[in-house]
Chain A
Amino acid sequence: MNWNSASEFFAMGGYGLYVWGSYLVALAAMSVEPWLAAQRHRRARNQIVDVAAPAQQEGSG
């Protein structure tokens, strides 16, 4: 075990800014990307439904 306490872990031996600055941005980028891809997929599916059932769309509510 490298760390004796949580604060030691977050300090990263004085390199906390650099280590967490790298990891947090990586986590953010790798969370946003799948979310965007899922959105695009959902949009494509919705569009197909809208085109396949256009007349019904007007009347329903």
Chain B
Amino acid sequence: MPAHFRLFTFAAPSRFYALAGALLPWLWGLTIALAAAGLYIGFFIAPTDATQGDAYRIIFIHVPAASMSMLLYLVMAGWAALGWAFHVRLASMVARAIAPTGAMFTFLALWTGAFWGKPTWGTWWVWDARLTSELILLFLYLGFIALVEAIDDVRRADHAGALLAVIGSVNVPIIYFSVRWWNTLHQGATISATAAPKMASTMFTAMLLMTFAFWAYAFAVVFMRARAIVLERERHTDWARDIDQGRVAARGAS
């Protein structure tokens, strides 16, 4: 181990692989602990809503999933752009690792939104600004995945993906401000930095805990996928071979 770390110490794929691997058990533990606390407060402490009844409890996964879907897109575009501009290979790998998780959260935001819209609005889906722009986000994620998988040359694929990701990030503020810019069925922002939460504090606590749980989950699953991508690309290096030195040696001996 070097005695001093530099800024890009963990930009070396081998170091990232080891560090992410060491963090995984902690991240999964954190995910489960936060989700257990959030669900307990959300279902057993937070009261039934006066107007929406118990249907509102979908909020504890809907809002965290929707916020993760937007945040992950910006993070993905950021890493993709960094990998493109500064030729940091790991940054492009992380961008690729984020895309499926972002798509999954976008799908969940749409799915839980439909299951919340049906009992409260009377419809699973409307083509309004918020819902439509979130659907476009799903297509942007899927388009990014399809694009980088379709191009054989890895670096060219990374560059094309970065371009798509950066251009597509225009959609994120559109989703976020859609409820203000257009007349929409969807309610306004649930949390605001400038105003006190409008909901009961136990509801707010549950939603916050679930948001942190989803954060921990996203780190964990993105690290898992990034480790796989690192190995796929570094399979010809000595350090990658050394990971399973024992298994290679055992085959040699048998």
Question: Are A13 and B220 neighbours in the complex by a CB distance under 8 Å?
Answer: no
Q: Which residues of B contact A9 (CB under 8 A)?
A: 43
Interface residue tally for chain B (C-beta within 8 Å): 43
Majority-rule SS of B interface residues: helix
Q: Which residues of B contact A18 (CB under 8 A)?
A: 55, 58, 115-116, 118-119
State in angstroms the CA–CA spacing of A60 and B253 once bound together: 9
- Whether A26 sits at the interface, judged by CB under 8 Å, is yes
Interface residue tally for chain A (C-beta within 8 Å): 36
State in angstroms the CA–CA spacing of A33 and B218 once bound together: 10
A17 vs chain B, min Cβ distance (A): 8
Given A15-B119, A37-B228, A29-B254 contact (CB < 8 Å): no
- Contact check: which of B224, B232, B244, B254 meets A37 at CB < 8 Å? B224
Given A48-B241, A49-B247, A56-B252, A33-B231 contact (CB < 8 Å): no
Question: Are B115 and A33 neighbours in the complex by a CB distance under 8 Å?
Answer: no
- Whether A47 sits at the interface, judged by CB under 8 Å, is yes
State in angstroms the CA–CA spacing of A40 and B225 once bound together: 7
Name A residues whose Cβ lies closer than 8 Å to a Cβ of B. Answer: 1-3, 9, 12-15, 18-19, 21-23, 25-26, 29-30, 33-34, 37-38, 40-41, 43-45, 47-49, 51-53, 56-57, 59-60
Closest 10 CB pairs of A and B: A44-B231, A13-B54, A37-B224, A41-B228, A15-B55, A53-B251, A40-B228, A56-B251, A22-B112, A12-B54
